[in-house]
Amino acid sequence: MRSRAWPVLAFSLLLLSGCASGGPWVEVGGERFRVEIADDDAERARGLMFRDRLEDGTGMLFIHEAEEPQAYWMKNTRIPLDILYFDNARRLVTQQRNVPPCSGGDRCPAYPSDQPARFVLELNAGEAERLKLQDGAELTFGEGIPPVR
């Protein structure tokens, strides 16, 4: 009986380990990041506002309906971020690195994309430099990312 229980236990542990690290993820610069998805107006407007920290290895992926010029700001954002803009082909077109928090309300500056973008990935400040990201880097979508047309 012991020999039959071991494969079941091993399989169960494998499933649990996958669930613990589960959730949507993206990969950029050869590294995987678990992401929260902001794919409607309300989620995109709130973004990472009012957060005191962003866990290592995580970020927020903003999905827009169309590829067009984008601009993000740090209103009510308490943590410095890298804001990475990607086009329809999921190629990095603009990097706004080490963007500081802003408590200035509507006086916070905008950080625009230099080219039209459809996807925006926000990571902790310093990640783009650490990964040595260059324009043209590819963003890979993993499990849990909604289909995009």
**Three-class DSSP category at 130:** helix
- The domains of the chain are located at 23-141
| Contact indicator for 142, 26 with CB cutoff of 8 Å | yes
Neighbours of 49 (CB within 10 A): 11
- What is the rounded distance in angstroms from the CA atom of residue 125 to the CA atom of residue 130? 10
pLDDT tens string, the chain, 149 residues long: the values are 444 444 433 333 333 333 345 899 999 999 999 999 999 999 999 999 999 999 999 999 999 999 999 999 999 999 999 999 999 999 999 999 999 999 888 999 999 999 999 999 999 999 999 999 999 999 999 999 988 87
| Contact indicator for 102, 74 with CB cutoff of 8 Å | yes
The pTM for the full model equals: 0.85
Reply yes or no on domain 23-141 having CATH 2.60.120.1140: yes
